[in-house]
Structure 1
């Protein structure tokens, strides 16, 4: 009479199955379970196999049976929880996407700080002039408040634009990683020296890159962390 399959034999059967999968991969054939993952159905099949080969005169310990059925129940609950969490994450992503689309046509208040890291090749600096200008200077400062770069602009018309900073300092060396702020001083057509005050820009469009919303303002896309507020109307400085 066949001996019943105890826990040791079950482990042996699992090892044999995994070995068979690996052997198939070595031979060049496509394994049926390339990641060697065990699902709830696999545990259920093992439990039924144990019951099939057990010795009728020495049936499986009821305590062990309860433990294994409890494991199956826990696996089932965990799978259901994972499914619910995936659906919830999908719904939250959809809700965020809809919320981002609602920003179209509104005005975004943009921070004057930008961050440079190893992956950053250049940074866009939005500007907004309330009138035509004869020239302007952008001062880029580091965390210590020291000016690291002066960007000179020529005559520009009233409105918004984005000035690309190549991440070089005044000595033409690349700046270190970190956070930088910028200030804009401009000269009006009649010679007045002014500081650019307005930081509100019309949201022209919205796009999603790797699930992250980016907003087009002043002709350039920026990430949501650059925006502190959305409003229906521009500020009085516009």
Structure 2
């Protein structure tokens, strides 16, 4: 319209808004602007540990623990065979079960080694049972031998040995075995202390079982005191070489002794092992026990 006035309201509004906007921008701090003053030393917030590092530390600790357990298990496995040689089957079985209960789940026991240990346990059990049976048989055998040994009492025996028991004025025989014919033979009598008593010098003797009578006198012809005597036989073959002579002892059994698992027959002051007895016969009437 002619004569219209410009819209002062809109213009005024525009003029009022623009300065207000500019004032708001001036109030905002500029990027990177800092107030003067000493630098801040506040450490209220700690630097967080990365999650990956925590996982690595945990894996490292687990690996160390597993390695320690594995070493302990390996030591136990390797020592099982040595320990099984000095322990009973019950203790060995407990050790085997304990190893299975505490084995490393990430590194279990080798099946081959476990099978070998089971085989060792089976062998140990069988050997233990065999040993028990042998001990029982040993007791039975000892009982039988002891019962049989009592039957020697009152009997005359011929056994390996070189002893003579002198009692009274009766003559006594020194018995021995010659491996071959002897051209010369000497029987030497000794007392209980090993002192010389008498020599009995004989000419040729045939091979086999021989007996030399000792009249019970010493080298002066005087009666020797009663007691225990021993004899030694030296023989010379027809070719002049020395012969090996096996001496024999004969005596009346008056008792039986059981000592340290062995059985001995008592004859006078001497004892003979049952295994050394070569001959058993009835006692002579004059020497029979009352």
Matched, 1:95 2:148: no
* Partner residue in 2 for 1:8: 74
**What root-mean-square deviation, in Å, do the aligned CA atoms of Structure 1 and Structure 2 show?**
4.3
1:142-153 map, 5 Å: 147=186, 149-150=188-189
Q: Distance in 2 between matches of 1:89 and 1:125?
A: 34
Structure 2 partner of 1:185:
214
Which residue number corresponds to residue 82 of structure 1?
Answer: 131
- 1:126 maps to 2:162: no
Deviations 1:21-52 (A, max 9, x none): xxxxxxxxxxxxxxx94333333233222212
Q: 1:12 to 1:82 in 2, by over 3 A?
A: closer
Structure-2 change in CA distance of 1:234 and 1:170 (3 Å): closer
- Distance in 1 between residues matched to 2:172 and 2:122, nearest whole Å: 68
8 Å CA contact retained: 1:139, 1:149: no
**Residues 96-131 of structure 1: per-residue CA shift (max 9 Å, x gap):** 1111111112222356x52xxxxxxxxx413588xx
**Residues 60-111 of structure 1, C-alpha deviation per residue, up to 9 Å, x if partnerless?**
3322222111111111111111111111112111111111111112222356
Structure 2 counterpart of 1:159:
none
- With a CA cutoff of 8 Å and minimum separation of 6, indicate the structure with the bigger relative contact order: 1
Look up the match of 1:73: 122
TM-score (norm. length: structure 1): 0.53
Cα deviation, residue 223, structure 1: 0.7
Classify the secondary structure of the residue corresponding to 2:215.
strand
Q: Report the Cα distance in structure 1 between the residues aligned to 2:258 and 2:109, rounded to whole angstroms.
A: 57
CA spacing shift, 1:140–1:83, aligned 2, 3 Å: closer
| Cα distance in 1 between the residues matched to 2:281 and 2:261 | 24
Matches within 5 A, 1:9-48: 9-10=75-76, 37-48=86-97
Aligned residue pairs total 170
Q: Aligned partners of 1:109 and 1:139: how far apart in 2? A: 11
- Distance in 1 between residues matched to 2:93 and 2:70, nearest whole Å: 14
Cα gap change, 1:38 to 1:150, in 2 (>3 Å): closer
Distance 1:13 1:85, change over 3 A: closer
Contact kept in structure 1, 2:149 and 2:256, CA below 8 Å: yes
Q: Which structure dedicates a bigger proportion of its chain to helix? A: 2
Quote the residue 1:209 is aligned against: 259
Q: 1:167 matched to which residue of 2?
A: 194
Where does the alignment leave 5 or more consecutive residues of structure 1 unmatched? 19-35, 115-123, 152-163, 172-180, 188-198
Q: 1:137 to 1:103 in 2, by over 3 A?
A: closer
TM-score by length of 2: 0.45
Q: Residues 221, 148 of structure 1: CA spacing in aligned structure 2 closer, same or farther, 3 A cutoff?
A: closer
